[in-house]
Structure 1
Amino acid sequence: MIFRKEVYFTRDMEKYNRAKAALADHGIEYTSKSNPMTNPGRYHGTPFINASAAYEYHLFVARKEEEKAEQVLRSAGVK
């Protein structure tokens, strides 16, 4: 998906999974990306980080589906 827009961002895995399910239930294709915040370097961790905020989750959809995806996410109660 070359021309994509980010429609959702969270650090909560449960909300992330609900958002993915809502998009899939409505036939909206998406790509996702997760970014671990605990490993800034090759051999270094991040001390004192809250485990519930250790990952960032992003959902992207095609630009033409952005408005529909936003509406689906709002009606699913995750946005």
Structure 2
Amino acid sequence: MTRFGVTASKAVGSAVSRNRAKRRIRAAIHSYLPEVNAGWDVLLIARAPLIDAEWPQICEVLQDLLKHSKILKTEE
């Protein structure tokens, strides 16, 4: 089982902004859960640009990050 943690520092903005950033990351993670290899502990840290990012861009960046880290299952 792979576990994900999401955090956002005060540099992201107000509590509302931090919570929104974390919700957006969690939603993006949820869309990739079936493709994730088991046995990982992943911590994602939200940054300020996430607040203004478009949804497809967030998903694309997360997918690139997971592929680069070899956390996503590869098609063989």
TM over 0.5: no
Name which structure has the greater RCO, CA cutoff 8 Å, separation 6+. 1
Q: Which has the higher strand share?
A: 1
Q: Which has the higher helix share?
A: 2
